[in-house]
Amino acid sequence: MSQPRLFLRGQPLRLEERAAQILFLGPLMQLSMDCPCDLTDGLKVVLAPRSWARCLTDMRWLRNQVIAPLTEELVFRACMLPMLAPCTGLGPAVFTCPLFFGVAHFHHIFEQLRFRQSSVGSIFLSAAFQFSYTAVFGAYTAFLFIRTGHLIGPVLCHSFCNYMGFPAVCAALEHPQRRPLLAGYALGVGLFLLLLQPLTDPKLYGSLPLCVLLERAGDSEAPLCS
């Protein structure tokens, strides 16, 4: 494999995940403002071998940051998208596949009902909200997978978003420094929309397996492939 090809294979690590980090500019600012330690102390904690050892022995951390992102992206993007796309077309597949991804999170309803964590109405409302944002996220990672032809980018984005959680917009509205914080939220969304296409330009990533599959099936549509 040539050196340029190796370079292109490394692009998702530097570009694709950056789009998600840009989108979370506001929440990252909020996390930084609320953190009791300064940047140096924070980096020491993050880079400490003891911290990583603690994470690697925490089953919940492994589930949220490693196992779930890897298995869910493998099933719902790498396996399901290539099966759906020849039948529905690329665009509809991007929005159909995430519906299954959203439904896969409904098991939380049974957990909450079993342990009576809230009222039945609140549980179902929470499940509907979770279905909505997981479906939107699924469409985003499907878009990344199609545009780049790599699974590592969607997996890293999934892991990052699992770590960040849903943005605490209500807390931001009541934050003592809400003006710069809300400006960060708005700037993050604006930059994300502006840079998403350039950061996922297929020309940066080489051959796109799903697009090649559709071309062989006689589908010349595929606007996401260019």
Per-residue pLDDT averaged across 26-36, rounded? Answer: 87
Give the side-chain half-sphere CA count within 13 A for 156: 18
Verify whether residue 108 is a known catalytic residue: no
Instruction: Confirm if 202 and 208 have CB atoms less than 8 A apart.
Output: yes
Catalytic option among 72, 73, 150, 158: 72
Rounded Cα distance, 143 and 93, in Å: 10
> Which of the four pLDDT bands, split at 50, 70 and 90, describes residue 38?
low
> Cβ of 138: how many Cβ atoms within 10 Å?
27
Min mean pLDDT across 3-12, 13-22, 109-118, 192-201 is at 3-12
How much is the CA Rg of the chain, to the nearest whole Å? 19
- The residue count of the chain comes to 226
pLDDT at position 220, please? 53
- Locus of tokens 């294979």: 9
| pLDDT higher than threshold 70 for residue 218 | no
| pLDDT higher than threshold 70 for residue 6 | no
Verify whether residue 105 is a known catalytic residue: yes
Question: Measured between alpha carbons, how far is residue 93 from residues 81, 89, 124 in Å?
Answer: 6, 6, 27
Instruction: Confirm if 78 and 151 have CB atoms less than 8 A apart.
Output: yes
Per-residue pLDDT averaged across 51-71, rounded? Answer: 91
Per-residue pLDDT averaged across 143-165, rounded? Answer: 91
Question: pLDDT, tens digit, for every residue of 171-182?
Answer: 999 999 999 999
Percent of the chain with pLDDT over 90: 41
pTM of the model: 0.83
Would you state the structure tokens that stand for residue 84, as one six-digit string? 């759906």
Q: Residue 53 carries which DSSP code? A: H
Question: pLDDT, tens digit, for every residue of 184-216?
Answer: 999 999 999 999 988 888 888 876 777 777 776
Rounded to 10 deg, the angle between the 39-47 and 49-56 helix axes is: 50
Instruction: Confirm if 131 and 105 have CB atoms less than 8 A apart.
Output: yes
> Residue 166 is inside which H or E element, if any?
none
Question: pLDDT, tens digit, for every residue of 112-152?
Answer: 777 777 788 888 888 888 889 999 999 999 999 988 888 88
Rounded Cα distance, 150 and 85, in Å: 16
- Locus of tokens 């509205």: 173
pLDDT at position 103, please? 86
> Which of the four pLDDT bands, split at 50, 70 and 90, describes residue 74?
very high
pLDDT at position 27, please? 93
At residue 75's C-alpha, the angle toward residues 87 and 104, to 5°, is: 95
Q: Closest Cα partner for 127 from 115, 116, 112?
A: 112
Rounded Cα distance, 226 and 203, in Å: 8
Instruction: Confirm if 169 and 185 have CB atoms less than 8 A apart.
Output: yes
| pLDDT higher than threshold 90 for residue 24 | yes
Catalytic option among 16, 17, 73, 105: 105
